[in-house]
């Protein structure tokens, strides 16, 4: 025979059949989620802001540079006139000394159709290739790479000087080295400053995440103390945002304690209830009593009655823990009526009231409650059973009346009749658990039951109150 397969379980975890197939998926860290979101938004905003700021500063630098070129071009045009031979002359010298220094990086040139280009001395043996195909009365700016390793920024304008019909193109060009250096310098500053800003924002987001999630860590420590030290509530002062979570947790702990206490009480009651019948049976068997069979049957019936009662309560408690239910009352009452009509065909049943009324109780428990009440009314009544759904106008409780035309129950017996095994009419079969089960199950769901006298039929009136759905 092969040895059973051994599963390796990581330290700190317990392997059990319940764990297999039900392992909770790792949903990740809340802090990590917050940091990823914060880092993403910081990156997007810094990139968008950096691009916008770079464009704005670049345009500002280029605009200032263009204004200087346009200022030189305007002064150049204002100093120009047409000479006797039809060529352009300057009646005054241009102010910038760089126009006289060869390859200084600042140039001007005048071109006209049918005339030779007139360049500044700074151009030396070179000339500018201007865009002079069309007449442009406004200054026109553009970049040019016509000189090797010396990118240019050029402004040109077309004009007709007085005394001449020639379309003259005036141009001023300047090397982009200075402007590109300025742009590169502030871009470097921009990148470093935004990098420091992004790092600072990320650190701030990390601190905010750590500090903001600190109450959740305190809740975890409080729950750990509950598990290890036996405390039963979370009493640490916490922020308002997580206080509702703590309150719900405390309510859950209270609910669990209540259920555990109910379970202990039920177990104790059942043990106490079974102790006496078992003792009687044991004594009769030890003494070899002549009526041993009758004693066993009698005490077994008593024990079965106790077991049925506590099982009904346990089922109701278990279903209540599942969650709130919505059960139509009339559907359950009609189903119970059809079942009881087969047992008591001579009884007349009448179900009236609000057909859409619902209660917050499981269908099985409502069937059991109404089944006990309607069967008792049919068994002990005189032949008529009335069921009225939502007989009283209450906001949170649906009141169901079950009436019969029997002898009723005296007022001084209406309390003890709810005891387990209590019966007023021993001539008819039964266990005496019906009303006890009705009371216990109704109280488990937050309802109740009362006994009164029926004004219409003269018999017993049972008022069953059950909570409405939220």
160-200, pLDDT tens digit by residue? 888 788 888 999 999 998 888 889 998 999 999 999 999 99
pLDDT for the residue numbered 270: 67
Residue-averaged pLDDT of the chain: 81
Please count the structural domains in the chain. Answer: 3
Average pLDDT score over residue span 431-439: 66
| Same domain assignment for residues 257 and 378 | no
What is the C-alpha separation between 128 and 73, in angstroms, rounded?
15
- Under the banding of pLDDT at 50, 70 and 90, the label for residue 132 is low
Distance CA 99, CA 289 (A): 140
**pLDDT tens readout for residues 246-285:** 888 888 888 778 777 777 766 766 676 677 778 878 888 8
Give the pair of three-digit tokens for residue 466: 């059950």
Whether residue 449 is found in the same domain as residue 337: yes
Other CB atoms within 10 A of residue 93 CB? 9
Residue 374 has pLDDT above 80, yes or no: yes
pLDDT score at 430: 42
Measured in whole angstroms, how far is the alpha carbon of residue 417 from the centre of its chain?
51
Give the CA distances from residue 366 to residues 268, 355, 361, 386, in Å, rounded to whole numbers and listed in that order.
27, 16, 7, 17
In a domain, 207, yes or no: no
Do 391 and 288 share a domain, yes or no?
no
Q: Distance between the two ends of the chain, CA-based, in angstroms? A: 59
Per the domain annotation, does 193 fall within a domain?
Answer: no
95 shares a domain with 179: yes
* 351 within some domain: yes
Q: Which of 322, 348, 380 is the last residue of a domain?
A: 322
Same domain, 275 and 242: yes
Q: How many beta carbons lie within 10 A of that of residue 327, not counting itself?
A: 19
Specify if 203 maps to a domain: no
Q: For residue 221, is pLDDT > 50?
A: yes
Is the predicted pLDDT of residue 396 greater than 50, yes or no? yes
39, 42, 45, 48 alpha-carbon torsion, rounded to 10°: -70
pLDDT of 113 above 90:
no
The answer, yes or no, to whether residue 432 has pLDDT greater than 90, is: no
Residues 176 and 258 in one domain: no
CB 221 within 8 A of CB 234: no
**pLDDT(12) > 60:** no
Cα four-point dihedral sign 381, 383, 387, 392: negative
Let me know whether 332 and 456 are in one domain.
Answer: yes
User: What is the reported pLDDT for 408?
Assistant: 83
| 447 & 394 share domain | yes
191 vs 183: CA distance, rounded Å: 12
Helices (H), 79-176: none
pTM for this predicted structure: 0.47
Whether residue 320 is predicted with pLDDT greater than 50 in this model: the reply is yes
Query: Which one of 302, 322, 342 terminates a domain?
Result: 322
Whether the pLDDT of residue 461 is over 70: the answer is: yes
Within this chain, do residues 466 and 342 fall inside the same structural domain, yes or no? yes
CA 353, CA 465: separation in Å to the nearest integer? 15
């Amino acid at each position: 025979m092969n040895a059973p397969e051994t599963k390796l379980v990581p330290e700190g975890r317990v392997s059990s059949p319940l764990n297999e197939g039900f392992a909770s998926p790792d949903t990740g860290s809340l802090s990590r989620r917050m940091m990823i979101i914060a880092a993403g938004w910081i990156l997007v905003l810094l990139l968008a802001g950096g691009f916008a700021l770079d464009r704005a500063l670049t345009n500002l630098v280029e605009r200032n540079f263009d204004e200087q070129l346009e200022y030189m071009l305007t002064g150049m045009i204002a100093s120009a006139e047409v000479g006797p031979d039809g060529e352009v002359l300057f009646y005054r010298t241009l102010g910038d000394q760089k126009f006289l220094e060869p390859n200084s990086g600042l140039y001007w040139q005048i071109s006209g159709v049918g005339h030779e280009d007139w360049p500044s001395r700074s151009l030396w043996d070179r000339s500018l290739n201007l865009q002079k195909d069309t007449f442009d009365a406004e200054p026109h700016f553009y970049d040019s790479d016509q000189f090797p390793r010396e990118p240019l920024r050029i402004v040109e304008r077309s004009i007709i000087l007085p005394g001449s019909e020639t379309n003259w193109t005036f141009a001023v060009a300047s090397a982009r080295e200075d402007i590109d250096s300025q742009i590169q310098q502030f871009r470097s500053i921009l990148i470093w400053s935004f990098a420091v800003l992004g790092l600072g924002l990320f650190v701030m987001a990390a601190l905010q995440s750590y500090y903001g999630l600190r109450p959740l860590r305190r809740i975890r420590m409080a729950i750990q103390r509950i598990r290890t030290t036996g405390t039963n509530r979370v009493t640490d002062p916490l922020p308002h945002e997580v206080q509702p979570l703590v309150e719900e947790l405390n309510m859950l702990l209270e609910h669990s304690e209540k259920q555990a206490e109910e379970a202990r009480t039920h177990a104790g009651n059942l043990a106490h209830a079974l102790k006496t019948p078992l003792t009687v049976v044991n004594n009769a068997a030890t003494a070899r009593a002549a009526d041993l069979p009758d004693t066993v049957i009698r005490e077994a019936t008593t024990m079965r009655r106790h077991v049925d009662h506590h099982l009904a309560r346990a089922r109701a408690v278990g279903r209540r823990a599942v969650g709130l239910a919505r059960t139509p009352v009339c559907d359950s009452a009609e189903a119970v009526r059809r079942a009881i009509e087969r047992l008591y065909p001579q009884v007349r049943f009448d179900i009236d009231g609000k057909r859409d009324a619902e209660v917050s109780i499981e269908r099985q428990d409502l069937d059991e409650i109404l089944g006990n009440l309607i069967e008792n009314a049919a068994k002990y009544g005189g032949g008529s059973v009335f069921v009225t759904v939502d007989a009283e106008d209450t906001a949170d409780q649906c009141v169901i009346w079950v009436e019969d035309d029997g002898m009723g129950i005296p007022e001084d017996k209406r309390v003890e009749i709810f005891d387990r095994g209590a019966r007023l009419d021993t001539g008819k079969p039964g266990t005496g658990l019906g009303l006890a089960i009705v009371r216990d199950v109704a109280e488990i769901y937050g309802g109740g039951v009362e006994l009164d006298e029926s004004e219409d039929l003269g018999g017993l009136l049972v008022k069953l109150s059950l909570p409405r759905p939220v």
